[in-house]
A and B are shown apart, each in its own frame.
Chain A
Amino acid sequence: MIELRQLTKRYGDTLAVDELSFRVEPGHVTGFLGPNGAGKSTSMRLVLGLDAPTSGQALVNGGRYADLRRPLHEVGALLDAGAVHPGRSAYNHLMCLALSNDIGARRVAQVLELVGLSGVARKKAGGFSLGMKQRLGIAAALLGDPGVLMFDEPVNGLDPDGVRWIRGLMRGLAEEGRTVLLSSHLMSEMALTADRIVIVGRGRLVADATVAELTAGYPSLEEAYMALTASSVEYGAAR
């Protein structure tokens, strides 16, 4: 479970996340939506303890991420698919992460197989397409077989085959009882993948509901999203 309590993050005079509170429960995929700059990625970084909150709390399984001893066994995250050393092979990239959390080479081979990168495991990650890097990032998130997963726009750069694969993977992970938080800008894809939707705009919570509830009053999830975020898309607007 992921829980945000009055989470606030300020960078200089920019309020990136503004008293944001919501819970992500296990057992279904939770879609995380919002315009660019709404605070989705910042919220995920705060959950992982990469950035320190200005105030409020971000909790995973009831505790702070920074207190986890071997965090990859509890939380897996893909924040930025490009965040790999271009000269390191996919296998070594995963192995570096695995070693730090006492995960063995067999699991590394397993996740490479799972994401379909076994054939290029010894190739340098710098030569990978965005879609392949997304798959590598997903493999890294799955390394420790964690119960909580966060993916920041994992569908970007994937081919139609890959998009469908991610949809199945996300739903499968949730059906196994895991907590899955997934951000994306593809509304139609999100409508197919997620059961619950959290929408943020300008760092604040705009909606927290099931897909069925959101689409009840609108023709589609996309229409619901457009209507709900209509006032939140101006960048750098005075706050």
Chain B
Amino acid sequence: MRAVLASEWLKLRSVGSTGYAVGAAALTIVLGIVWTLYVVSLADARGSIRAAAPEEGFLPLVQVSLAVLGVLAITSEQADGMLRTSLAAVPRRGRLLFAKAAVVGGVTLAASAAVLIATYTISRLIAGDRALGFNDIGLLDGLPTVLASALSVAVLALVGLGLGAATRSTAAGIFSVVSLLFVLPSVAAYLPAPWNTRVASIMLPNLVPQIAGDRLSRRLGDGVLPPWAALLVLIAYGAAALLAGYLVLRRRDA
């Protein structure tokens, strides 16, 4: 297993798309600085302001960028035929997918945690003691949300990997991830009450605030899941997608 992990780690490092995906995610730091400077200027003019936290506002950028990394980890091999070479080297398909999942999960968790913690910390440092709304709690008190966000990114990347393996298509893999992230939650929000809150509670992007014990939104109120249940649902997303990918990878001709 160690050998296959080393191989998959080199595979991920040795293609340009990985750098672009992490770079796009890291753009959040720059956008977060620009946003914070902007709301600081507004606050200086008006005294105080209620602004969104940059690491929450730009989280979808991190999620989509690194989910694409997860999709490409398998679909690029399927597209160019490298998968056959990979399977000739590692005939146990579950082992190959597991190694990919471990590497993709580890890399995206580390990258998203680094980007989000940097965005979070820098924005609070720039804000100083101005009241911007998002910095009204202590620096350490906001960390659970940041870490839950990072975890959601890693899970989304694994969902991308699993659905990429299941659909064997980059376009379908990315579309699936975008649907989970944007399309389904917006549909759920317009269901009649109380179903809007109930269904929205299990939507992937809404799991982050529930894990951290925050409110979903003004419209939806609190989620229905306690933090531990929200965490389980988040993990279930990744596990279900990987299982689907494994079943297809195992049964289909390469």
Q: A residues within 8 Å of B by Cβ?
A: 45, 48-52, 65-68, 71-72, 75, 77, 79-80, 82-89, 92-93, 95-102, 140
B82 contacts partner chain A, Cβ-Cβ < 8 Å: yes
Given A85-B77, A85-B82, A86-B80: A100 in contact with B90 (beta carbons within 8 A): yes
- The contact string, 1 if C-beta is below 8 Å from chain A, for chain B 79-92, is 01110111111111
On whether the beta carbons of A48 and B88 are closer than 8 Å, the reply is yes
On whether the beta carbons of A50 and B88 are closer than 8 Å, the reply is yes
Extra A-B contacts (8), CB below 8 Å, given A71-B88, A84-B82: A65-B91, A67-B91, A75-B88, A83-B81, A85-B15, A85-B77, A99-B3, A101-B89
Q: B residues within 8 Å of A by Cβ?
A: 3-4, 6-7, 10-11, 14-17, 76-77, 80-82, 84-92, 253-254
On whether the beta carbons of B10 and A50 are closer than 8 Å, the reply is no
Measured CA separation A100–B6 after assembly (Å): 7
Measured CA separation A72–B86 after assembly (Å): 11
Cβ contacts under 8 Å, B253 to chain A: 45, 50-52
On whether the beta carbons of B89 and A50 are closer than 8 Å, the reply is no
Given A82-B81, A86-B80: A96 in contact with B87 (beta carbons within 8 A): no
Cβ contacts under 8 Å, B84 to chain A: 45, 48, 50, 79-80, 83
16 contacts between A and B (CB under 8 A): A45-B253, A49-B91, A50-B254, A66-B91, A71-B88, A71-B89, A71-B91, A80-B81, A85-B82, A87-B17, A92-B10, A95-B10, A96-B7, A98-B7, A101-B3, A102-B3
Interface centre among A75, A85, A92 (most CB of B within 10 A): A85
A178 to chain B, nearest CB (A): 17
Cβ contacts under 8 Å, A67 to chain B: 91
Given A49-B91, A68-B91, A95-B10: A83 in contact with B85 (beta carbons within 8 A): yes
A83 to chain B, nearest CB (A): 3
Given A65-B91, A100-B3, A100-B89: A83 in contact with B82 (beta carbons within 8 A): yes
Measured CA separation A92–B7 after assembly (Å): 10
